[in-house]
Structure 1
Amino acid sequence: MTSPQNELTLLFRHASFVNFWIARLFTISGYQMLCVAIGWHLYDITGSALDLGLIGLVQFLPRVLFVLQAGHVADHHDRRRVAALSQLLQAACALGLAASLAYPEFARPMIYLVSFMVGVGRTFEFPATQAMLPRIVTGALLPPAVAISATAVQAATIASPAIGGLLYALGAGVVYVLTGGLYLMACLLMLRVKFEPSNAAPPPQQPGLEGLLAGVRFIKSRPAVLGAISLDLFAVLLGGATALLPVYAKDILHAGPWALGVLRAAPAVGALAMGAWLARYPIRKRVGKVMFVSVALFGVATIAFGVSTSIPLSFAALTVLGAADMVSVVIRNSFIQLETPDEMRGRVSAVNSVFIGASNQLGEFESGVVAALLGPVLSVVTGGIGTLLVVALWMKWFPQLSQQDRMPGT
């Protein structure tokens, strides 16, 4: 068995993996900075928690509308080009938003339009990039590669929201232009990625709706995969509080954009530390139980954040939340990729992206609606309690997942 140190050395000597990793770093940095700028910009214009929630809904709609097409495209076209074109679209969105600042009367509709188009780009980007990783590195290297790839996401999420919040003081346009540049660099790097040779036959061109629905049928036929994907959906759907961070920063913690950036970065601090640990020491036993424990901890941390009235305590709760979420993400993504044949990974990843998008974007919408009705604190606390209830139900309904001891094929 390869030692953890040797696994890390092999991965960071792998040129295509490094290009992929840096491209993900730039893409997520751009997206996080864009979210901070859009969130503060919109809340400054409207002062409405519901409007913040609607942004999540607008970004989620493309996943519903184009999920089947996105998976089909990822399985039947060059995934590198699909990802690069998606990043190019998001670059155009950010730069277009910067140009639109000359017309402030159209700011609100323009933000919603750009949010929708960014959602389109991410809808096609996600299944392509998720399905790429098992072709860049193979076998036992995949779990640590997933962990390291996830650390790119979290490293970007630590620094970029804070940077975005600070740069917003110079003007929203500065953030939007920088975001566009990051997306363009990610696009160029993604085109330099090379795949390992594969003996698998190209996926058959299944006709019409039958081919588009193949990913749905595959997930339905694997209860453990369905349980892993849906656990994330309902746990984060109820426990997600990120849409309300501008409300917490401004109205509860009585701070400015810098606090919003710090709070958005907090989950990534915990996630990055946990991701680095998991990259060196992958979880190889009792993976199902560990995943359920991590999701339960996510719920507890959400409740703690909801009742906090101080920035240090809020930061600490969000840090624990991020670390717990990282454990769940690495286990879930590794398990799904190893359980899915390469010719199906694009379509399965596309369906998974709908679940992830529902948990994130619809979770933001749910938080915004409940906050508008009951207030932000009650919205977050009840969401955390709901997450704990989901964990209990899923352990009962998907026993094969909770009893999963090792990753498939390891």
Structure 2
Amino acid sequence: MRRRCRAHHFFGQLVSLAGTWMQQIAMIWLAYRLSNSAFVLGTIGFASQIPILIFASIGGVWTDRLDRRRLLMWTQALSMLQAIVLAALAWQEWVSPGLLMGLALFLGCINALDVPARQAIAIQLVDDPDDLPNAIALNSLLMNSARFVGPALAGFVVAAVGEAICFLLHALSYLAVLIALGAIRITVLPNRSMPTPDGSSPVAV
């Protein structure tokens, strides 16, 4: 059962990451279509990444102090809400470059918490420490596979049905992660202890 939950988690992460790349490409395309400006295009990309550069270290500290599964459920739910808002604005043709920048910045702030938590929880899903290198390699494979699949899917979807559907598909992709996170149960390992130099009471590390 635990192995099945881990498989569902990694599959959900693949779907969600592919959806994230779909949205990124669709946002960039929509921004350029609305503004015909390379500056706006670059600004939206900058707005989505600068929060990670600034706040990712703080997010890593919070990840160590909070329940990672619950934190991921919150970040994924907020990211899904952002995608739904973006899809609604694009569907009603109310979207503007300024709104795209604001939503990109909002998603970047969420990712500053989501990325460290996602990396850390992958380690907690491993029972045997000998399997840890395989888990890390699998996590990297998922991220690179999504980077390959997501933009290609975005190109087909945007060309066929438009940006709004692309954003909606991205929102739906978060359901896979939320369902997987709701199913898994993470066992918190006890702290290891090391004896003090004088052989007295051990010190937790």
Residue 171 (structure 2) aligns with: 180
Is it true that 1:29 corresponds to 2:18 in the alignment? yes
TM-score normalised by structure 2 residue count = 0.83
Gaps of 5+ in 2: 193-204
One-letter identity of the residue aligned with 2:76? Q
Are 1:70 and 1:127, in contact at CA under 8 Å, matched by a contact in 2?
yes
Residue 183 (structure 2) aligns with: 192
Residues 11-90 of structure 1: matches in 2 within 5 Å?
Answer: 14-64=3-53, 66-90=55-79
For 1:163, which of 129, 153, 159 is the aligned residue?
153
Are 2:32 and 2:40, in contact at CA under 8 Å, matched by a contact in 1?
yes
Distance in 2, matches of 1:37 and 1:140, equals 40
Shift of 1:64: 4.9
Shift of 1:15: 2.4
Residue 90 (structure 2) aligns with: 101
Shift of 1:38: 0.6
Distance in 2, matches of 1:194 and 1:79, equals 11
Distance in 2, matches of 1:24 and 1:113, equals 25
Residues 391-410 of structure 1 show CA distances to partners (whole Å, capped at 9, x for unaligned) of xxxxxxxxxxxxxxxxxxxx
One-letter identity of the residue aligned with 2:107? V
Shift of 1:95: 0.9
Distance in 1, matches of 2:115 and 2:60, equals 9
TM-score normalised by structure 1 residue count = 0.43
Distance in 1, matches of 2:124 and 2:94, equals 47
Shift of 1:152: 1.8
Shift of 1:126: 1.0
| Equivalent residues, number | 190
CA RMSD, Structure 1 to Structure 2 (Å) = 2.1
Shift of 1:155: 2.5
Are 2:25 and 2:151, in contact at CA under 8 Å, matched by a contact in 1?
yes
Are 1:95 and 1:177, in contact at CA under 8 Å, matched by a contact in 2?
yes
Residues 187-336 of structure 1: matches in 2 within 5 Å?
Answer: 187-200=178-191
Distance in 2, matches of 1:40 and 1:75, equals 37
Residue 9 (structure 1) aligns with: none
Q: Percent identity?
A: 24
Distance in 1, matches of 2:53 and 2:105, equals 12
One-letter identity of the residue aligned with 2:133? P
Shift of 1:179: 0.5
Distance in 1, matches of 2:137 and 2:114, equals 19
Shift of 1:168: 0.7
Shift of 1:66: 3.6
One-letter identity of the residue aligned with 2:89? S
Is it true that 1:126 corresponds to 2:107 in the alignment? no
Distance in 2, matches of 1:67 and 1:136, equals 22
One-letter identity of the residue aligned with 1:26? V
Shift of 1:50: 2.3
| Larger displacement relative to structure 2 (107-116 or 153-162) | 153-162
**RCO comparison, higher one (Cα < 8 Å, 6+):** 2
Shift of 1:40: 0.9
Residue 400 (structure 1) aligns with: none
Residue 147 (structure 1) aligns with: 137
Distance in 2, matches of 1:97 and 1:105, equals 10
Residue 240 (structure 1) aligns with: none
Change (3 A) 1:171 1:144: same
Gaps of 5+ in 1: 1-12, 202-342, 344-410
One-letter identity of the residue aligned with 1:133? A
Residue 112 (structure 1) aligns with: 101
Residues 247-280 of structure 1 show CA distances to partners (whole Å, capped at 9, x for unaligned) of xxxxxxxxxxxxxxxxxxxxxxxxxxxxxxxxxx
Are 2:123 and 2:135, in contact at CA under 8 Å, matched by a contact in 1?
no
